[in-house]
Chains A and B, each alone.
Chain A
Amino acid sequence: MKEMRKIRILLAKPGLDGHDRGIKVVARALRDAGMEVIYSGLHQTPEQIVNTALQEGVDGIGLSILSGAHNAIFSKIIALLQEKGLSDLLVFGGGTIPPKDQERLKAMGVGEIFTSGTDTREIVSYLKEALEKRDETKTKSV
């Protein structure tokens, strides 16, 4: 029988932008879907986010960025995760992110980008599927 394990997600809002309605709504939706959510609030530096992810042993990090600073912030976080040997952590995000940049971020290793108008159920099923796939790959490689 498959072991039931609670998915743990860190949600963070890097930078000084204050638009936090979206991320708070996502936090509640993920909790209602049975996940454990650590929400660290605004003003988080990439270093703080990666450290929290490490300490909390999360499966994934979701970043919300509406300021336009997504390219700089995502690349820094991905680099830091690699540095700490955490590159199998699922990184996803949301906010005001134009289609061209979404492609760029995905090429960089970001799993998925959810923009304004996304149904939270879509995020829930994405996380479940992506993490299941990751765990399968891990088991195989072991």
Chain B
Amino acid sequence: MRPKRNLFNTESIDKIRKKGEKWQRQVYPTEKQRQEVFETLSGIPIEPIYSPTHLAEMDYLRDLGFPGEEPFVRGVHPTMYRGRTWTHRQLAGFGPPEETNKRYKFLLKQGATGINGVFDYPTLRGYDSTDPEAYADVGRGGVAIDTVEDMRILFDGIPLDHVSSSLVTCQPIGNISVQSMYFANAQAQEIPFSELRGTSQNDFLMETAVAIAPEVFPPRASFKFSCDAIEYCTKHVPRWNPVSFAGYNYREAGCTAVQEVAFVLANAMACSEELIKRGLEVDRFAPRLSFFFSGHSDFFEEIAKYRAARRIWYRMMKERFGAKDPRSLALRFHVQTAGFALTAQQPLNNIARAAYHALVLGGAQSVHIDAYDEALCTPTELSSLTALRTQQILQLETRVTHTIDPLGGSYFIESLTNQLEEKIVALLNEIEAMGGIVKSVEKGWIHKEISSAAYECQKAIESGEMPIVGVNCYKIEDEKLPVELFRVPETLEVQRAKLEKIKKERNSTNVQKALDTILHCCEKDGNLMEVVVEAVKAHVTEGEVTKMLKRFYGTWNPPLF
């Protein structure tokens, strides 16, 4: 065993501890505290002051290291923002693809450095726009996609070999078709798969534990779809991140910072085990596993959270999976500022709020800043632009990018990083003892965890313990809304016309053949991505793929709360 190399010598620590204890006994109490208890948003007690005594056990090289090197706590790249700053990836999507294409081009022209495409509710869940279930939601919450033709329109005039695209396909069932359409569209333009850069969300918890509905795909099936996409990309689309474990969305559903990280890591661990079982070497797929976290309102806890997540991932990949490639060991992530923290009241306050949440001090690889009107409607062009400008101000004016991990070494941040790590690891162990993340979903355990945390949070807001400006303090009665609201353009009829035309013109023998192939692939437990990519080329619609899969895998009724 390597000898311990503590940051401070025992003699200094003893002196500081004695002095600190005396201060806390005699000096600090001479003034009154403004509240009894101080704690982080996830409930970790916060002390009045942090000092080297809190880091007495810390071994710098073992626990922190240098950027781009093990254990990657200080950053995953050697130069971090001194080399390349984070990607400004503003979420966009509404109405038919013709309209969203204009918004993408607008954002790119204004300096966005990546696309972050969000899909409407029917597309996320695997329905066609014309499905009776979809009637009210077409074009809402994102862009409507039914066939590969829609994908062509969505990215028309945008060079797929130069722009990286994030596809916010939360549920694996929607992802399997939408991602296939993206790849098929690239192929039609003769862009080789090796040139494609981007990310799909593809998280099975989104289908089975977050945003839950009756009659969804069973957890094992949804997990399989997710792993199929990862396996497919590992083999064929090497620069694509085939999964972005969606901690952000778990957090939005109610999780604490600790649960957010524990659940994504448990999910990533299960996927890794499955892919290894399928015969892939860990260093083949792990470099492309990516993460998606929330940037919530507890400034320091969020910074510590990202740093703790990097350390746990590093240790898990190295010790448990024997990964050797530094890219497998480094946790890369996208951040979105917390939608939950936005208020419908006094919406312009959200500009300041989201700027505080952007938190690049935690070392994110890409960021979306919420628009000020997101608690009221789909963002307007003005609110999207303001959010993008907030990123640019942060990057160009504040100089927070000039040194790497600027809060590293802060007694408080390091101490909080350690405490979060401990709590997250404990929760990970609990999930493992239960039989892993898929089991925890099947048992309904995770549903209870999430909804209880959400309820606790609501109670804290209502008691005033968690102040929210404009909601439980500094309210304005009879407030007049100071912003213009966005109206989603007509979508269903636009989509219906295209679907009808495509169904009339496509070769029905090829369609039937493609659907039969999908069913056959289910029966022999093959990789579904391989056949769905071919099916969408024959203009099979997303809804047709879903129906075929539902026929084979059946449905599941999750515990509702």
Residues of A within 8 A of B (CB): 13-21, 24-25, 27-29, 39-43, 45, 67-69, 72-73, 96, 98-99, 115-117, 119-121
Q: Mark B429-471, 1 if CB is under 8 A from A, else 0.
A: 0000000000000000000000100110010011000001011
Q: A16-B137, A42-B212, A45-B133 are in contact. Are A116 and B343 (CB under 8 A)?
A: yes
Q: How many A-B residue pairs have CB under 8 A?
A: 113
B contact residues around A99 at 8 Å (CB): 481
Do residues B462 and A16 form an inter-chain contact, with CB atoms below 8 A? no
Residue B252 interfacial (CB < 8 Å): yes
* Bound form: Cα–Cα A84–B68 in Å: 66
Number of interface residues of B (CB under 8 A): 48
* Bound form: Cα–Cα A15–B213 in Å: 10
A contact residues around B211 at 8 Å (CB): 18-20, 42
Do residues A41 and B140 form an inter-chain contact, with CB atoms below 8 A? no
Do residues B345 and A117 form an inter-chain contact, with CB atoms below 8 A? yes
Shortest Cβ-Cβ A-B pairs, 7 listed: A18-B211, A42-B213, A69-B136, A16-B121, A43-B213, A117-B471, A67-B140
Do residues A21 and B137 form an inter-chain contact, with CB atoms below 8 A? no
16 extra A-B contacts, CB within 8 A, seeds A17-B141, A20-B212: A13-B213, A16-B121, A21-B253, A25-B451, A25-B455, A39-B560, A42-B212, A42-B213, A45-B133, A67-B121, A68-B488, A96-B375, A116-B343, A117-B344, A117-B471, A121-B462
Do residues A16 and B125 form an inter-chain contact, with CB atoms below 8 A? yes
Residues of B within 8 A of A (CB): 121-122, 124-125, 127, 132-137, 140-141, 170, 206, 210-215, 252-254, 340, 342-345, 375-378, 451, 454-455, 458, 461-462, 468, 470-472, 481, 485, 488, 560-561
Do residues A18 and B137 form an inter-chain contact, with CB atoms below 8 A? no
B331 to chain A, nearest CB (A): 26
Q: Which listed residue, B141, B210, B342, touches A68 by the CB 8 Å rule?
A: B141
* Bound form: Cα–Cα A40–B206 in Å: 18
Which B-chain residue is minimally distant from A27 (CB atoms)?
B561
Do residues A69 and B140 form an inter-chain contact, with CB atoms below 8 A? yes
B55 to chain A, nearest CB (A): 37
Do residues B137 and A17 form an inter-chain contact, with CB atoms below 8 A? yes
Do residues A16 and B214 form an inter-chain contact, with CB atoms below 8 A? no
Q: A67-B136, A98-B485 are in contact. Are A15 and B121 (CB under 8 A)?
A: yes
Do residues B124 and A18 form an inter-chain contact, with CB atoms below 8 A? yes
* Bound form: Cα–Cα A15–B138 in Å: 10
B177 to chain A, nearest CB (A): 15
Point out which of A20, A28, A121 has the most chain B C-beta atoms below 10 A from its C-beta.
Answer: A20
Q: Which listed residue, B121, B124, B344, B455, touches A96 by the CB 8 Å rule?
A: B344
A contact residues around B455 at 8 Å (CB): 24-25, 28-29
B contact residues around A98 at 8 Å (CB): 376-377, 481, 485
Q: Which listed residue, A24, A39, A117, touches B454 by the CB 8 Å rule?
A: A24
By DSSP majority rule, is chain A's interface helix, strand, loop, or mixed?
A: loop
B120 to chain A, nearest CB (A): 8
* Bound form: Cα–Cα A34–B210 in Å: 27
A contact residues around B376 at 8 Å (CB): 96, 98
Do residues B471 and A41 form an inter-chain contact, with CB atoms below 8 A? no
Do residues B212 and A21 form an inter-chain contact, with CB atoms below 8 A? no
Q: A116-B344, A117-B471 are in contact. Are A21 and B254 (CB under 8 A)?
A: yes
Do residues A25 and B214 form an inter-chain contact, with CB atoms below 8 A? no
B contact residues around A115 at 8 Å (CB): 344
A47 to chain B, nearest CB (A): 10
Do residues B488 and A21 form an inter-chain contact, with CB atoms below 8 A? no
B121 to chain A, nearest CB (A): 4
* Bound form: Cα–Cα A68–B472 in Å: 25
Do residues A15 and B344 form an inter-chain contact, with CB atoms below 8 A? no
Q: List 7 A-B contacts (CB under 8 A).
A: A16-B124, A16-B137, A25-B451, A25-B455, A67-B140, A116-B344, A117-B468
Q: Which listed residue, A27, A41, A68, A117, touches B213 by the CB 8 Å rule?
A: A41
B contact residues around A73 at 8 Å (CB): 136
Do residues B458 and A116 form an inter-chain contact, with CB atoms below 8 A? no
Do residues A16 and B127 form an inter-chain contact, with CB atoms below 8 A? yes
Which B-chain residue is minimally distant from A115 (CB atoms)?
B344
B contact residues around A119 at 8 Å (CB): 461-462, 472
Which A-chain residue is minimally distant from B121 (CB atoms)?
A16
* Bound form: Cα–Cα A72–B136 in Å: 7
Do residues B134 and A16 form an inter-chain contact, with CB atoms below 8 A? yes
* Bound form: Cα–Cα A26–B454 in Å: 11
Do residues A117 and B135 form an inter-chain contact, with CB atoms below 8 A? no
A18 to chain B, nearest CB (A): 3
A contact residues around B340 at 8 Å (CB): 21
